[in-house]
């Protein structure tokens, strides 16, 4: 039987309070979030100071941890603001963040000065590709380092054997892959003036490209002669749900999911599936092996760009790119999350249109999935509606089954 003490943490992203609560309820051990400033997802909704305080308190009340990203490449004008930011978060008291995720040595130094009681984790943006880098950060006071996504499992195993036992390894195991080495990209800045290293990436790598020969301006030549397409930088998404044993045996302490800009449906789908896969493996490895195809089938119900194992088993090849389009594969549409009950009807904020008579699914934090039919929809004044066409409208529904807060409604496409 697997030693329970080695069970890795499941670390799930959240871009707002809704997805943080979802991550907590659907199986995360820890959640990473960003504030309005100093993180690398400036286009995410992110957290105000008040939302951050509320979210951390909610997570802590359920025994979960929260890590806050401050992983920009800071410039001189950023430093005083970062110092004040850390002081604000320290003032949360018992519900302050459990760790900061940092890549910049200057920001790291400020964190040690201002909030020495909060752990510092070193972001993948710091290009952490060898065990000497881990030792370096450990000597300075970091408790955890996030591996560069370019490392193989074999390299991580060697790294684990040559770093202090109390130094933790965090590794991305699911989500979007960046075309640039450890996310260090200038493409967005070059084309649009929006700096990826300051959190404003436009994902220029997902665009369609052609070649123009200088003596034939305006004549666009396809890059791929076999007409497969011209999305030459468009990588598949990472998915390691079928390799939990290998990740555990490599000595990885935290399995990290990418996606702070994703919906609550994505967070719930991925969190509860990885939660079940990890727990099944530690309960009985045979149970995990029997269910592997089911785990993969379930995570495919989230939004993704097809799956790859990235660098874990060697360098990616042309098979790990998507050449003919840059859009996500969307198996299900997010309809809303149940927030309460009133007079036998269940309340939610509508995320996408659905109608009376439609067949939908309910996914629950317990892992249960129910297929049912929408019987009635009413607005907040009690008026019945055939459908709910207005995003973010508060509605009440009857779908012929008992629902609970945090149950999520989805429709198969």
Residue 302 pLDDT level (bands cut at 50, 70, 90)? confident
b/e 175-214 (16+ beta carbons within 10 angstroms → b): bbbbbeebbebebbbeeeebbbbbbbbbbbbbeeeeeeee
Percent of the chain past pLDDT 70, that is, above it, reads: 79
End-of-domain residue from the set 300, 320, 340: 320
**Rounded CA separation 348/336 (Å):** 6
Tell whether 122 and 191 lie within a shared domain.
no
Classify residue 288: in a domain, yes or no.
yes
Q: Please identify which residue in the block is written with the tokens 């649009």.
A: 192
Per-residue model confidence as pLDDT tens digits over 311-341: 899 876 555 454 444 555 678 999 999 999 9
At 188 the pLDDT is 55
pTM: 0.84
Classify residue 75: in a domain, yes or no.
yes
Is the predicted pLDDT of residue 388 greater than 50, yes or no?
Answer: yes
Is the predicted pLDDT of residue 275 greater than 50, yes or no?
Answer: yes
Q: Pick the residue with more confidence: 241 or 127?
A: 241
End-of-domain residue from the set 196, 222, 248: 222
State the total domains in the chain.
3
Classify residue 325: in a domain, yes or no.
no
Tell whether 350 and 270 lie within a shared domain.
no
Q: How many CB atoms lie within 10 A of CB 225?
A: 7
Is the predicted pLDDT of residue 140 greater than 70, yes or no?
Answer: yes
CATH of the domain at 403: 2.40.30.10
Is the predicted pLDDT of residue 221 greater than 60, yes or no?
Answer: no
Tell whether 341 and 380 lie within a shared domain.
yes
Tell whether 119 and 139 lie within a shared domain.
yes
At 310 the pLDDT is 86
Per DSSP bridges, beta strands 30-34 and 9-13 are: parallel
Tell whether 125 and 35 lie within a shared domain.
yes
Tell whether 169 and 296 lie within a shared domain.
yes
Is the predicted pLDDT of residue 124 greater than 50, yes or no?
Answer: yes
Residue 5 pLDDT level (bands cut at 50, 70, 90)? low
Cα of 364 vs its chain's centroid, Å: 19
The mean pLDDT value of the chain amounts to 86
Classify residue 52: in a domain, yes or no.
yes
Q: Pick the residue with more confidence: 209 or 150?
A: 150
Domain span at residue 339? 332-412
At 226 the pLDDT is 39
Mean pLDDT of 86-109: 96
Tell whether 251 and 366 lie within a shared domain.
no
Is the predicted pLDDT of residue 227 greater than 50, yes or no?
Answer: no
At 210 the pLDDT is 57
Q: Pick the residue with more confidence: 129 or 320?
A: 129
Tell whether 33 and 110 lie within a shared domain.
yes
Identify the weakest region by mean pLDDT among 26-30, 162-166, 215-219, 352-356: 215-219
Residue 408 pLDDT level (bands cut at 50, 70, 90)? very high
Classify residue 309: in a domain, yes or no.
yes
**Straight-line distance from the first to the last Cα atom of the chain, in angstroms, rounded to the nearest whole number:** 40
Per-residue model confidence as pLDDT tens digits over 165-196: 999 999 999 987 666 545 555 555 656 666 55
Tell whether 159 and 245 lie within a shared domain.
yes
Tell whether 404 and 342 lie within a shared domain.
yes
Classify residue 67: in a domain, yes or no.
yes
Tell whether 127 and 67 lie within a shared domain.
yes
Identify the weakest region by mean pLDDT among 132-146, 186-200, 294-308: 186-200
Mean pLDDT of 383-389: 94
CATH of the domain at 137: 3.20.20.70
Residue 393 pLDDT level (bands cut at 50, 70, 90)? very high
Classify residue 327: in a domain, yes or no.
no
Mean pLDDT of 42-64: 87
Q: Pick the residue with more confidence: 146 or 184?
A: 146
Cα of 81 vs its chain's centroid, Å: 26
End-of-domain residue from the set 285, 320, 355: 320
At 229 the pLDDT is 45
At 382 the pLDDT is 92
Closest CA to 199 of 373, 38, 28: 38
Classify residue 326: in a domain, yes or no.
no
* 255 touches 247 (CB < 8 A): yes
Q: Please identify which residue in the block is written with the tokens 């929006």.
A: 194
Tell whether 259 and 365 lie within a shared domain.
no
At 207 the pLDDT is 60
């Amino acid at each position: 039987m697997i030693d329970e003490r080695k069970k890795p943490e499941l670390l799930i992203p959240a871009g707002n309070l809704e997805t943080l609560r979802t991550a907590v309820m659907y199986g995360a051990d820890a959640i990473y979030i960003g504030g309005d400033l100093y993180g690398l997802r400036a286009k995410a909704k992110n957290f105000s100071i008040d939302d951050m305080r509320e979210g951390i308190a909610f997570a802590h009340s359920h025994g979960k941890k929260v890590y806050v990203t401050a992983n920009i490449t800071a410039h001189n004008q950023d430093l005083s603001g970062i110092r004040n930011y850390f002081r604000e978060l320290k003032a949360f008291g018992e519900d302050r963040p459990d760790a900061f995720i940092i890549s910049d040595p200057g920001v790291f130094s400020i964190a040690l000065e201002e909030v020495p009681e909060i752990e510092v984790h070193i972001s993948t943006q710091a290009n952490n590709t060898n065990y000497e880098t881990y030792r370096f950060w450990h000597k300075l006071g970091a408790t955890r380092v996030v591996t560069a996504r370019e490392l193989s499992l074999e390299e991580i195993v060697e790294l684990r054997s040559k770093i202090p036992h109390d130094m933790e390894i965090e590794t991305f195991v699911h989500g979007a892959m960046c075309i640039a080495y450890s996310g260090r990209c200038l493409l967005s800045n070059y084309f649009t003036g929006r700096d990826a290293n300051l959190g404003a990436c436009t994902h220029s790598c997902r665009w369609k490209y052609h070649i123009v020969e200088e003596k034939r301006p305006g004549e666009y030549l396809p890059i791929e002669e076999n007409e497969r397409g011209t999305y030459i930088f468009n990588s598949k998404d990472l998915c390691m749900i079928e390799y939990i044993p290998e990740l555990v045996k490599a000595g990885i302490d935290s399995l990290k999911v990418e996606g702070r800009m994703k919906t609550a449906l994505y967070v719930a789908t991925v969190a509860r599936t990885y939660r079940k896969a990890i727990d099944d493996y530690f309960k009985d490895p045979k149970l995990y092996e029997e269910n592997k195809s089911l785990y993969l089938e379930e995570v495919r119900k989230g939004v993704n760009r097809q799956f790859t194992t990235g660098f874990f088993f060697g360098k990616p090849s042309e098979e790990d790119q998507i050449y003919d389009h840059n859009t996500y594969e969307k198996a299900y549409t997010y309809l809303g999350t149940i927030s309460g009950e009133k007079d036998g009807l269940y309340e939610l904020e509508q995320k996408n249109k659905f109608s009376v008579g439609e067949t939908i699914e309910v996914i629950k934090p317990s892992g249960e999935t129910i297929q049912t039919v929408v019987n009635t929809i009413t607005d907040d004044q009690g008026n019945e509606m055939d459908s709910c066409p207005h995003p973010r409208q508060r509605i009440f529904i009857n779908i012929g089954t008992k629902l609970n807060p945090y149950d999520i409604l989805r429709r198969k496409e």
